[in-house]
């Protein structure tokens, strides 16, 4: 599987392209046996590829064989390692982030201008006004992934994206930093983003920063 590696605030991010078939991915997952029973319950081929690819990347990022489990809120953890992890996938892409100390979040979405149609679901009024001035949906796509990333870090407390999270104004580049206000938590989070013609990627570490 082709992979790209990034680092951020002592975290490791791996982005993979799922080009192999299920058999090829199974051979790449060295500890497939510990997942065999769980894997056998999957019926959808796409879901099987995502399952295998994410675990291949986590083994690579951790530098050892790890076992993924999920808590009651479907947040992934490693039951044989203290690393914090987050997983995302979209079409033929999969990405993971790990950190030795702090909770992390990551979201990757294929580029899609239809985000404009659902913008009122995740943007508050001031954000809608801010992004309405843009000539395309690039910033709105980043905003969606940013809030998905923070949902993975914070949890159900921010399930209502529009009411609890506010994207602060940021400059649009191929990659950069943006800040998000967690209103109910009275805290600002710093996130990193990358955007190209294929996908939008946002990731972050739950570590207090100085602005």
Whole-angstrom distance, CA of residue 31 vs CA of residue 66: 8
Among 58, 86, 101, the domain-final residue is: 101
- Evaluate whether residue 136 is within a structural domain: yes
Domain encompassing residue 50 = 2-101
Given this model, what pLDDT does residue 209 score? 59
Given this model, what pLDDT does residue 186 score? 83
Classify each residue of 28-50 as buried b or exposed e, where b means 16 or more C-beta atoms within 10 Å of its C-beta: bbeeeebbeeebeebeeeeebbb
Among 101, 123, 156, the domain-final residue is: 101
Given this model, what pLDDT does residue 208 score? 64
Q: Are 172 and 133 in contact (CB under 8 A)?
A: no
Residue 72 is part of a domain; what is its CATH number? 3.90.470.20
pLDDT tens across the length of the chain (211 residues)? 999 999 999 999 999 999 999 999 999 999 999 999 999 999 999 999 999 999 999 999 999 999 999 998 899 999 889 999 999 999 999 999 999 999 999 999 999 988 988 999 999 999 999 898 898 999 999 999 999 999 999 999 999 999 999 999 999 999 999 999 999 888 999 999 999 999 999 999 997 655 5
- Evaluate whether residue 78 is within a structural domain: yes
Same domain, 48 and 96: yes
Given this model, what pLDDT does residue 126 score? 93
Same domain, 9 and 97: yes
Q: Which pairing describes strands 175-182 and 104-110: parallel, antiparallel, or unpaired?
A: unpaired
- Evaluate whether residue 125 is within a structural domain: yes
Given this model, what pLDDT does residue 185 score? 81
Distances (CA, A) of 15 to 79, 124, 160: 23, 30, 28
Same domain, 88 and 31: yes
pTM: 0.95
Same domain, 199 and 115: yes
- Evaluate whether residue 35 is within a structural domain: yes
Q: In sequence order, which residues have a C-beta less than 8 Å from that of residue 70 and are 6 or more positions away?
A: 76, 77
Given this model, what pLDDT does residue 73 score? 87
Among 66, 101, 136, the domain-final residue is: 101
Same domain, 140 and 178: yes
| Counted domains in the chain | 2
CB atoms within 10 A of CB 87: 23
Q: Are 181 and 168 in contact (CB under 8 A)?
A: yes
- Evaluate whether residue 211 is within a structural domain: no
Q: Are 18 and 94 in contact (CB under 8 A)?
A: yes
């Amino acid at each position: 599987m082709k992979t790209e590696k990034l680092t951020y605030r002592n975290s490791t991010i791996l982005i993979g392209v799922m080009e192999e078939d299920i058999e090829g991915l199974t051979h790449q997952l060295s500890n497939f046996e510990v997942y065999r029973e769980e894997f056998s319950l999957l019926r959808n081929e796409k879901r099987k590829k995502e399952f295998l690819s994410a675990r291949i990347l986590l083994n690579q990022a951790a530098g050892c064989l790890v076992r993924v489990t999920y808590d009651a809120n479907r947040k992934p953890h490693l039951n044989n390692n203290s690393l914090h992890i987050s997983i995302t996938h979209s079409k033929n892409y999969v990405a993971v982030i790990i950190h030795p100390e702090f909770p992390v979040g990551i979201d990757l979405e294929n580029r899609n201008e239809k985000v404009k149609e659902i913008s009122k679901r995740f943007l508050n009024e001031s954000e809608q006004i801010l992004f309405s001035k843009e000539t395309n949906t690039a910033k709105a796509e980043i905003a969606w992934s940013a809030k998905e990333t923070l949902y993975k870090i914070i949890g159900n407390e921010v399930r209502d994206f529009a009411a609890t999270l506010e994207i602060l104004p940021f400059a649009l580049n191929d990659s950069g930093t943006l800040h998000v206000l967690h209103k109910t938590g009275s805290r600002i989070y710093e996130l990193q983003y990358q955007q190209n013609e294929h996908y939008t990627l946002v990731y972050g570490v739950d570590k207090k920063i100085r602005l």
